Every structure is written in structure tokens, then in C-alpha cells.
Amino acid sequence: MSKKSITASFDEEAPITQGDIDAGKLVLRKRVDGRVVQPKKRVTLYLDATLVDRFKDMAGERGYQTLINEALKTSLQQADIEATIRKVIREELKERKAA
């Protein structure tokens, strides 16, 4: 007995519709320099109302959640830079004491 294929065939010429995407038939992934960008993960996060209002005011037409995401990424990058600078300073001070 042969099984019927349950995989739908893909027509290269058929236009992609929002319905296809919504139905899970197609997942669009953002690419940068040929690499797939990591998708975002949905989380529930409770923030102070004043903080949310401030980000909404700053965002304007843009999404305030995107602005919060960028602020968090920037904060982490600054922490990494600070840790690197501290490490370099410690190494240089150690070398001076040894000399």
C-alpha cells in the first residue's frame, strides 16, 4: 500500500497571501546579510504605567514595544562594553605593577 502525500505542493508562480501566512502555510523570516534574524519571543511583562506612557510618547508612529526592545538591547550592549573596559584597565594596571 502506498500512502498519499499529505504535503501540499508549492506553486512557485502562485502569489503568497496573508491568509497563507495566517494559516501557518508560510513563515516569513527576516534576513540580514543572508542570515535569518532570530524571531522575537512573546512574553508577559509588567511595567510601571508611567514608564509605558513615556515610551508611548517617545515612540510616536512607531511601536512603543519596539522602542522598549531597543532600549533593553542598548542597555545590555553598554553593560558589555563597561565590563570589557574594566577588564582591560585591570590587565593594564596588573602589567604596570609587575613592571
Q: Residue 20 falls within a domain, yes or no?
A: no
Within a domain: 12: no
For residues 74 and 66, the answer to whether their CB atoms sit within 8 Å is no
Please state, in angstroms and rounded to a whole number, the distance separating the CA atoms of residues 63 and 19: 24
pLDDT at 42: 84
Average pLDDT value for residue range 48-75: 91
Q: Is residue 3 part of a domain?
A: no
Flag whether pLDDT at 36 surpasses 90: no
- Residue at 88 is within a domain: yes
C-alpha to C-alpha distance for 19 and 88, rounded to whole angstroms: 54
Q: pLDDT band for position 75 (50/70/90)? A: very high
Contact present, 81 and 89 (Cβ < 8 Å): no
The domain in which residue 45 lies consists of: 41-98
Positions of E strands within the chain: 31-32, 35-36
In a domain, 4, yes or no: no
* Residue 14 resides in a domain: no
77-98 pLDDT, tens per residue?
998 899 999 999 999 999 888 8
Distances, alpha carbon 59 to alpha carbons 11, 51, 71, 74, in Å? 40, 12, 12, 16
Residue at 61 is within a domain? yes
- Residue-level pLDDT at 60: 86
For the chain, the domain total comes to 1
User: What pLDDT shows up at residue 11?
Assistant: 59
pLDDT for position 9: 54
